[in-house]
């Protein structure tokens, strides 16, 4: 179960075990492996508003389902590369 941990650039961070990490409404939930990346997703959410879930959320969900065993391919998707770029995440 997730428990409150800390903040990252004004976002609330909840540590949760597992391989999935996501950002929604300024909250990061996950194993805290890619905070700059999730910060990039927050910037996307601010830019896209309600389209964040529609565009980024569905693309991510698609990737989680079909590219689960292919991390490089997952992070090469446009939505993920863009989050890396916005958040300053280096891979």
Q: Which residues bind Zn ion (CB under 5 A)?
A: 80, 83
Q: What are phi and psi of 80, to 5 degrees?
A: -80, -40
Q: Output the smallest distance, CB 41 to Zn ion, in A.
A: 6
Q: Output the smallest distance, CB 81 to Zn ion, in A.
A: 10
- Residue 47: CB partners within 8 Å, gap ≥ 6? none
Of 35 and 83, CB closest to Zn ion: 83
Cβ-closest position to Zn ion: 80
- H or E element, residue 57: none
Q: Output the smallest distance, CB 37 to Zn ion, in A.
A: 5
């Amino acid at each position: 179960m997730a428990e409150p941990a800390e903040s990252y650039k004004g976002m609330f961070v909840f540590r949760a075990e597992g391989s999935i990490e996501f950002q929604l409404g300024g909250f990061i939930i996950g194993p805290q492996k890619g905070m700059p990346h999730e910060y990039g997703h927050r910037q996307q959410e601010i830019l896209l508003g309600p389209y964040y879930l529609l565009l980024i959320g569905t693309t991510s969900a698609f990737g989680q389902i079909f590219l689960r065993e292919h991390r490089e391919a997952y992070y090469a998707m446009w939505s993920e590369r863009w989050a890396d770029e916005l958040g300053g995440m280096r891979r």
